[in-house]
Structure 1
Amino acid sequence: MIQSWRRIRGKKNKKEKILLGTDLADIAEMVTIPMHFRCPITLDLMKDPVTLSTGITYDRQSIERWIESGNQTCPVTNQVLKSFEAIPNHTIRRMIQDWCVENRSSGFERIPTPRIPLASFQVSEVCERIGFATRRGDSVKCQELVEKLKAWGRESERNKQCMNENAAGYFLSASFEAFSSSSSMEKHVGLLETIVSVLPWMFPIGVESQSHLGSSSSLNCMVGFLRGKDLSARQNTVLVLKELLSLNQSYVDTLAEIEGGVEALVGIIKEPICPAATKASLTSIFYMISSSKSSEKISLRLVEMGLVSLLLDILVDGEKGVCERALGILDGICDCKEGREKAYENALTTPVLVKKLLRISEVATEFLVSVLLKLCKNENGGDDKGSVLVEALQFGAFHKILVILQVGCNERIKEKVTELLKLFNLHRDRLVCIDSSMDFKYLKRPF
């Protein structure tokens, strides 16, 4: 009897909980947000109400997006805006906060008091003081001011944009060059590391800023950071280098001549800090190997450092962007005999290259075809069972290459695909294909 009562009571309690949950949901739906608390653009509850010169109040994010899209009128009144300044409406904001507190039981959380956005004059004032402190060689004052910029940038993306628009990148890069070329640079390492932590927010930068960061002293300092033990400095530096090297070929050539530069970039791949740093390092190496005057010399150094095996390992389970960059570097390395020999020695080479065909992106497929062609054309003893050409056919490369032609490709790839098919035709009839979806974990790796 007692057990039966407990079962009935348990069912009743469960039913009450379900009804209670439904009632709360209904109550939340029944609560109406006052219209003057809603943004006229999105009709959502305003989190940071601001008033324009027309007297209409909007949510800051919505109206800024409206103005940034090129609109010069007030969305409600359609009047041309005499000023784009958005003045915080503290009265409405407090009223919204009080209303949220009153309706907390209905699921409304109190909106936090927004920070006052960074103004252009604030950035300009700090930048001018950085310039003055740099000219005086006052690294302590300079550090204090750069830390202020860093704190602003951490608050919001809007603050980063404001700093960028007010030439913060120029003052930071000029200060970086000045203190990195100082005879007592070791005393300014803390300042230089702080500057390099802010610089990734400043891109794209102007020509003058580029020349400061691309100078020999600045690049030497950056290489020193890459070779150091501070992970944060290494990460920030490689992000800056990636952006800088994409802007001008002369910076690529200068970096290639700095002793230990290439080795430092490879070190970030060998001991990953984060995906962004790995991708930036691969991108920087790609610029050096594909367009540097000493690309052949760099390729040999990369081979000696064991980069071929690292790249193939990355390709096994790397994400799209990383794989594209890894393949671009591998394609450049395979231009030299030593690079191809390392690829022949690695058990992963053929199965990974064939498996990744058509699976990453069009750019990656072009690199894959190029690498396969270089390996198949230049190997000796193409009739051997272990040759790349024979292995590629066994893993189903012939059919994938045909698909590339069928789905359409540009003339550059088409020419390489046609040449590759001619090589495959010599052996295709007497070989049995292997399932190319096989797992790589059973293959013996040479590292």
Structure 2
Amino acid sequence: MTQRRWLRIIPVALIMYTISYVDRTNISLALDPNISSMMNDLLMDDRLKGIVAGIFFFGYVLLQIPGGYWATHWSPKKIISIFLVAWGICAVGCGLSRTFVHFGVMRFFLGVAESGVFPATTVLLANWFPRSERARANAYWNLCQPLAVAASAPFTGWLLGAYGWQRMIVIEGALPFIWLPIWIYFITDHPRDAKWISEEERTYLETTLKREIAELEPVKSVSMLERLLQPSIFVMIAIYFLHNCAAYGCMTFFTSGLKERGFSATQYGILFAIPYAVTAVIMVLNSWHSDKTHERRGHIALVYAMSGISLIASVLLRNHFWVSYAFMCLAIPGPFAAMAPFWAIPSETLPRAVMGLVVGLVNAFGNLGGFFGPYIVGWLKGKYHDISVPFNLLGVGMLLAAGLSLLLPKVPRQLRVIEEEVKQSGSVQGSLK
């Protein structure tokens, strides 16, 4: 029988964060002047478009570290419940805005309201999924990012055409309030608190997770500051910064390549969604193989390199629309497909007491790329009146991230041995399947 935690924890967390991602990215279509009046209504040019898309990430920095700390020392379920309410209010507020300043302020506070959700969910999954399953758990949860675009973009495009950008944002902004009671009912912080799993599965999880945590605890006492100042953490921040520059820079200005093709708003939505549907498939395959081989760094570097090469190729072949579009379908998956093995590394190389803080730290400063990516692309596009230069720059950034990925720490050998022993024994898991 399939383990119930995969069917209970992952789908609820996936849909919760899918809603979050919809609320932060739906303006990518709304900001396209071909299908929406938003830029005219708020008196924006390409530079201001990049600013209003990216200002979310200045707010997104603020509660990353506290969010990880609160989730570790209090309750990820309760922290995320609070944030669901907060970001729902801010998302609806974005749709009620009437000026550029008002919209920018609401986008900033939307970032604040969502900032603690990612590290809190990472802690929640670490409480439920042993190391041999963690990349897959992270991948299935992070499927929300491409699925949010692939599933919602056609609907968002239709709402834009039927009701306008303000009503579209209000309608999608109300989704957190609908999901809140489902989150509260289904989610439990730890296996020991769950009444819906078998005694055998609970014992297996508690035993395995305690053993993994003990293996990661340092032999000698190390201060929290020393743990946070490890060189590998700065490498992770740099990689994640470049990662988000590409992810959000491409997303915000992707439809620029669709101009003058005569597409309707719904067709825009479909063409915008297809690369993210491809992304979901690549994410699952990459995470599955990463777990199977117990290897993280190479799986990160490979998809980053694929993204960088494909993005540059898409620009070089931009005069051949469908060929260029096909390469863009391979360029966009890279940052997303890297996330599962990337976020498995902190939980496999750091003590549990510091993991939430590190995830918050890396996610906070790395996500500043979510501001600088759209801003730089908008600025360069305005300067050169073309998308080629900024997209080439993003492609080079992805290639640099691929190289830096090889500097990330490896999973300690004793942990790989533990995983093999658990898989070979299969005594408990076999009784659960």
- TM-score category, normalised to shorter length: under 0.3
What TM-score, normalized to structure 1? 0.20
Higher relative contact order (CA 8 A, sep 6+): 2
Query: Which TM-score applies when normalising by structure 2?
Result: 0.20
- More helix, by proportion: 2
Please identify the structure whose Cα radius of gyration is greater: 1
